[in-house]
Structure 1
Amino acid sequence: MVDAICACGALRLSFGKPPELTALCHCFACQRRTGAPFSANAFYSVECVEIIGTSTEFIRIADSGRKVRMRFCPICGSTVYWQAEAAPSWIGVGVGSFADPTFAPPVVSVFEQSRHAWVRLDEKVERFQGLPTG
């Protein structure tokens, strides 16, 4: 498996298992975090992730009112991973941090209510206007 690495290489995540979920998010917070019209995210069980290097934390409040702890490299500023209070057993990782064009494609797309109209997705991707419920 390929590691997730920041732009300068000082912060790295290594994984013992493949992601449990790969998803796209079109929420405004992800658009601002990535500087792109959506984010591509991989979610891993906390137990299978090894974090190598130091990160700086920025805490933002999600639309749900819960905290999301964004972790970024203090040298280059790349946001590599995050942990959401709403899902404490998972670590989210930006798919771009893997720099791997063969990475698992997304299976869901969330917050489509703020999706840019010109973004087209594969028909196989399950789509939600907000977060899935249930």
Structure 2
Amino acid sequence: MRDADGTYAITGGCRCGSIRYRVTKAPLFVMACHCTDCQEQTSSAFSLGMPVDKEGFSHTGEPVVITKTAESGNESRAYRCPTCAVWTHTTTDGTPDTVVVRPSTLDDAEWVKPVAQIFVRSAMPWAKLDVPHSYEKEFDDPTEIVKTFRSSGILDRLS
């Protein structure tokens, strides 16, 4: 949703409501991550991630932070509710100005559609998505992914 002043008002949180968040800037894109860490954290084939500008993200509640060193050598921090254990967002040292929101925790996720997937090398064969951008590992530069997302019309569903 958009507020009257043109800023975004995307909200979400954990199952029990202890952690709530708000995104006020347009998401950069939505992607699927097939890395084995995401598979383990979600007990599923992949996780969805929606990178947003850190300045446009705020949350209430005190999440538990689980830190892991990624394959890149950067630290990754998964934020989970201490009560219901839902994974709401992630930050990494590699992209310090970005918060990766977990779209499955959005109040309204009807508009969500990934335009990229990463760590396809560890994807379950039946779970590979038909998206414009696929990467065996991580991507170095998200510029093309952002362009694809912006031109896709996906954000128009939020208006």
TM-score between both structures, scaled by the size of structure 2? 0.78
Secondary structure, aligned partner of 1:8 = coil
Partner residue of 2:87 out of 79, 91, 95: 79
Whether the 8 Å CA contact 1:30–1:38 is kept in 2: the answer is: yes
Is the strand fraction higher in 1 or 2? 1
Note the 1:49-128 alignment, pairs <5 A: 49-122=57-130, 124-128=131-135
Deviation sequence 1:63-103 (CA, Å, 0-9, x none) = 11111111111111111111001000000111110153423
31-40 or 102-111: bigger deviation: 102-111
Partner residue of 1:130 out of 129, 137, 145: 137
Whether the 8 Å CA contact 2:76–2:93 is kept in 1: the answer is: yes
Deviation sequence 1:9-66 (CA, Å, 0-9, x none) = 1101101122112111000011011111011111110000111111111111101111
Whether the 8 Å CA contact 1:19–1:42 is kept in 2: the answer is: yes
Aligned partner of 1:48 in structure 2 is: 56
Whether the 8 Å CA contact 2:23–2:58 is kept in 1: the answer is: yes
**Pair 1:8 & 2:12 matched:** no
Aligned partner of 2:36 in structure 1 is: 28
Whether the 8 Å CA contact 2:20–2:59 is kept in 1: the answer is: yes
Please give the alpha-carbon distance, in whole angstroms, between the structure 1 residues aligned to 2:92 and 2:111.
Answer: 23
Query: What are the ranges of 5 or more consecutive residues in structure 2 without an aligned counterpart?
Result: 2-9, 142-159
Whether the 8 Å CA contact 2:118–2:134 is kept in 1: the answer is: yes
Q: Which has the larger radius of gyration?
A: 2
Specify the code of the residue in structure 1 equivalent to 2:74: R
Aligned partner of 2:152 in structure 1 is: none
- Superposition CA RMSD, Å: 1.4
Aligned length: 133
Query: What are the ranges of 5 or more consecutive residues in structure 1 without an aligned counterpart?
Result: none
- Percent identical residues: 26
Question: C-alpha displacement at 1:133, in angstroms?
Answer: 2.9
Whether the 8 Å CA contact 1:106–1:125 is kept in 2: the answer is: no
Please give the alpha-carbon distance, in whole angstroms, between the structure 2 residues aligned to 1:69 and 1:120.
Answer: 25
Q: Which runs of 4+ in 1 moved over 6 A?
A: none
Please give the alpha-carbon distance, in whole angstroms, between the structure 2 residues aligned to 1:21 and 1:79.
Answer: 19
Whether the 8 Å CA contact 2:103–2:109 is kept in 1: the answer is: no
Specify the code of the residue in structure 2 equivalent to 1:61: T
